[in-house]
Amino acid sequence: MAAFFASVEQMDRPEWRGRPIGVTNGERGTCIITASYEARAFGVKTGMRVKEAKQLCPGFIQVASRPVRYTEVSSAIMAALEDITPDIEIFSVDEAFLDLTHCQSYYNTTAEQIGRLIKQTVFDASGLRCAVGISGDKTTAKWAAKREKVGLTVVPPWDAEATLANEPVTELCGISDGIGAFLKARGVERCGDMKRIPISAVAQRFGNPGRRLWLMAQGRDPEPVQQETAPAKSLGHGKVIAPDTRDRELLLMYYLHMAEKVGRRLRKNDLEAQTFAISLRTDLGGIGAKYRTVAATDDGAAIYALAKTFIDKRWGGQGGFQVQINALDPRPAAQQGDLFATVTTAADSLNATVDAINEKFGAFAVHRAPLVRRTDMPNVISPCWRPSGHRESIDY
């Protein structure tokens, strides 16, 4: 989708169409989640501070995000795309892969015509325009979709290797700056350079994903469309807060909020965890630590106790701008417990009751008293949101 969140806002608010807007986490958000193309023309980009955006862009409009609205539009789009092919991978809130292999005889038409059908289907379902890329593998198709912001680009599979040859490898999905640096040190800066090194050189460092990277650069990504969401390898919540926050009680309130959100999300997905990473990002760098509970848990109070330990032992008064709690080893909840672990049936009963109330009346309708101060902390939506499973996380 083209500047998805901003496009939804401009669709719903006609007076913002053609004007530079930036979506932030609430009215007091300081960091831009996404910007309209009118704002991008002035250099405004994702991750930029609102203050800087206003300096770059005269008439810049800050817009509070509405995650529930974005998921409504996304869900409508994904449902409509399933009418084109049942083989669909929801890659993120505004992106999907469609495998048309099994539908070719049904459509009996060209790739360009199917691309136009996809674009019209998305527009009919949402009122928004999108970019479509078509090729013989996922990576090349995704690269093609980035060529034009609301266009259609087709790369025939037999032309994929030559088409990608002069592109920087970091333009491909999955090749971060870190992987890019590893490849550059071995003389691989563009996709066409990849064949100069043996596949074993990448596989030795990155395993099977390395073998995939080697093939991706040649337009031969072997990964099929993934229709099932993989089990969670980690599960967490973070919050960008006011810059240079040094108030201990305020930091603890933010950590309490994140702990309750992580606990709620674990319970919703019948998961629990025992190892948690607590971190704080500051202008001087990040600080963090890993802690373990006595037994695997899904209780926000137990997770919050770890955050308090982190603040007491690792925080030195630095001004922070982002808090984060991650459950590092989520697992199915119905496992054999530790023989010597204390069974907290009271906490389990309390959490079940609170979850039921919040499910009926809205997230945090009932909450712990310190979270009264969280009123300016609206929910956010992760780019990797899915309409079901552990990635569906905006409501808690």
Per-residue pLDDT of 198-232, as tens digits, reads 999 999 999 999 999 999 999 999 999 988 777 77
* 36 compared with 149, residue with greater pLDDT: 36
Grade residue 68 by pLDDT with cuts at 50, 70 and 90: confident
Buried-exposed string 220-247: b where 16+ CB fall within 10 A, e elsewhere: bbeeebeeebeebeebbbbbbbeeebee
Per-residue pLDDT of 340-349, as tens digits, reads 555 557 888 8
Residue 324 pLDDT > 70, yes or no? yes
For the chain, domains (ranges, CATH) are: 4-65 (3.40.1170.60), 71-216 (3.30.70.270), 235-391 (3.30.1490.100)
Please give the model's pTM, rounded to 2 decimal places.
0.78
Q: Extract the runs of DSSP E, i.e. beta strands, from the chain.
A: 21-24, 32-35, 61-64, 88-92, 95-98, 132-134, 152-154, 235-245, 271-282, 285-297, 320-327, 331-332
Average pLDDT, the chain: 90
Structure tokens at 318: 């630095």
Judged by phi (left if over 0) then psi (alpha if -120 to 50, else beta), residue 184 lies in: alpha
Residue 254 pLDDT > 90, yes or no? yes
* Catalytic-residue membership of 95: yes
Residue 377 pLDDT > 60, yes or no? no
Catalytic residue among 27, 38, 82, 95: 95
- The whole-number pLDDT of residue 396 equals 44
